[in-house]
Amino acid sequence: MIISRTPFRVSLFGGGSDFREYYSRTPGAVLTLAIDRYMYVTVNKRFDDTIRVSYTKTEIVPRLKDLQHELIREAMRVADVTKGVEITTIADLPAGIGLASSSVLTVGVLNGLFAYRGQFVPAGELAALACKIEIDVLGRPIGKQDQYIAAHGGFQFVRFFGDERVTVEPMYCRPETARAVVEQLLLFYTGLTRAAGSVLAQAKKRMTTRVSTQDALDALVALAEAQRARVAGNDATGIGPALHDAWQLKKQMASRVSSSLLDGYYDRGRKAGATGGKIVGAGGGGCLLLSVPPQARTSVRRAMAKCGLREIPFALEPGGTTIIHASDWEAPADVRGDARTAARG
């Protein structure tokens, strides 16, 4: 049996610039970090040639094409594992709360399947394959940042270029600076889940049709660059106000990125002492991220509790997707070989 563990993420600055519609015009950039909440994927040989996949429901199918779970089906196709396998997924957090669950799943399944074949695939290649599945094969209206932070982990500055290159640059700062960034961030589950597709599709369309959206994205990239430089200079004090500025820009990109209810939660957090924040992910629900100075943490937590919001404690996860268990077995004979060659073909 193989078990992969892949971290969820909290994106800070630059979201939206990882869409092809933007970075094909000018390079995109995001400042993002992996957190110590995980998706676990198990891959095991099945006693016959059927395929069993267990997530929120269980599928047992005779052929790969009959599998309804799109992400797992296409990951199996890419890894060239097409029969006689059992895959299960278990997550620390629910889907649809803005922490990149679909991309985390795709990266984790790919890592587990390649390990099942007895192969190591580098983080950058896992991320690129996950992007291919989600964006090119399944046509989902998403960007590329989530796959890369899930694969690499850590506190990263990620750039996106028009020729499809992606560079992942670790944030070089003192350990106490990185801790200061993370410790000022409080994450609260709103109780609302959302299908991000409609919000992202609207934002994606506006990237090519509205100058105001393009200008907002340019400003978001500039904020990401500025905060990267600030943190690299070991100054973590500007995160909150910059998050607030970024959130105001983000709301220009899609009408459903927020709501009166979510705006109310955010305003109460700021009145209680938060210096800034955002709705994490595509918006419309999920989680509220607030930047809070130490002296205001108690009052902000109390205010959010009165709103019925549940805090999700987290710390920085320095690593990306990893194989945390591999039974003492030999890769099944029918799946040995260079799966990466098959994937590229």
Q: How confident is the model at residue 92 (pLDDT cuts 50, 70, 90)?
A: very high
Contacts of 11 (CB under 8 A, 6+ apart): 30, 31, 32, 100, 145, 146, 149, 280, 281
Instruction: Give the pLDDT confidence score for residue 208 in this predicted structure.
Output: 55
Instruction: Give the pLDDT confidence score for residue 212 in this predicted structure.
Output: 72
Instruction: Give the pLDDT confidence score for residue 260 in this predicted structure.
Output: 87
Instruction: Give the pLDDT confidence score for residue 210 in this predicted structure.
Output: 58
Share of the chain above pLDDT 70, in %: 87
Residue 223 has pLDDT above 60, yes or no: yes
Query: Tokens representing 306?
Result: 């009165």
Residue 206 has pLDDT above 90, yes or no: no
For the chain, the average pLDDT equals 91
Q: Which residues of 150-166 are buried (b: 16+ CB within 10 A; e: fewer)?
A: bbbbbbbbbbbeeeeeb
Q: How confident is the model at residue 340 (pLDDT cuts 50, 70, 90)?
A: very low
Q: For the segment 38-56, what is each residue's pLDDT rounded down to a tens digit?
A: 999 999 999 999 999 999 9
Residue 200 has pLDDT above 60, yes or no: no
Q: For the segment 224-240, what is each residue's pLDDT rounded down to a tens digit?
A: 999 999 999 999 999 99
Query: Tokens representing 36?
Result: 């110590």
Instruction: Give the pLDDT confidence score for residue 342 in this predicted structure.
Output: 39
Residue 207 has pLDDT above 60, yes or no: no
Instruction: Give the pLDDT confidence score for residue 345 in this predicted structure.
Output: 35
- SS3 call for 62: coil
Residue 202 has pLDDT above 60, yes or no: no
Q: How far, in Å, are 91, 196, 308 from residue 283 at the CA level? A: 21, 7, 18
Average pLDDT over residues 96-125: 96
Q: For the segment 241-263, what is each residue's pLDDT rounded down to a tens digit?
A: 999 999 999 888 766 677 889 99
Q: Which pTM value belongs to this model?
A: 0.91
Instruction: Give the pLDDT confidence score for residue 126 in this predicted structure.
Output: 98
Instruction: Give the pLDDT confidence score for residue 336 in this predicted structure.
Output: 58
Residue 318 has pLDDT above 50, yes or no: yes
CB atoms within 10 A of CB 171: 18
Helices (H) and strands (E) in the chain, counts: 12, 12
Backbone angles phi, psi at 35, to 5 degrees: -120, 165
The Cα 243–Cα 151 span in angstroms is 25
Q: How confident is the model at residue 343 (pLDDT cuts 50, 70, 90)?
A: very low
Instruction: Name the more confident of 329 and 111.
Output: 111
- Sketch the domain layout of the chain as residue ranges: 2-326
Instruction: Give the pLDDT confidence score for residue 140 in this predicted structure.
Output: 94
Contacts of 323 (CB under 8 A, 6+ apart): 2, 3, 4, 5, 111, 112, 115
CATH code for the domain defined by 2-326: 3.30.230.120
Pairing of strands 310-311, 185-189: antiparallel
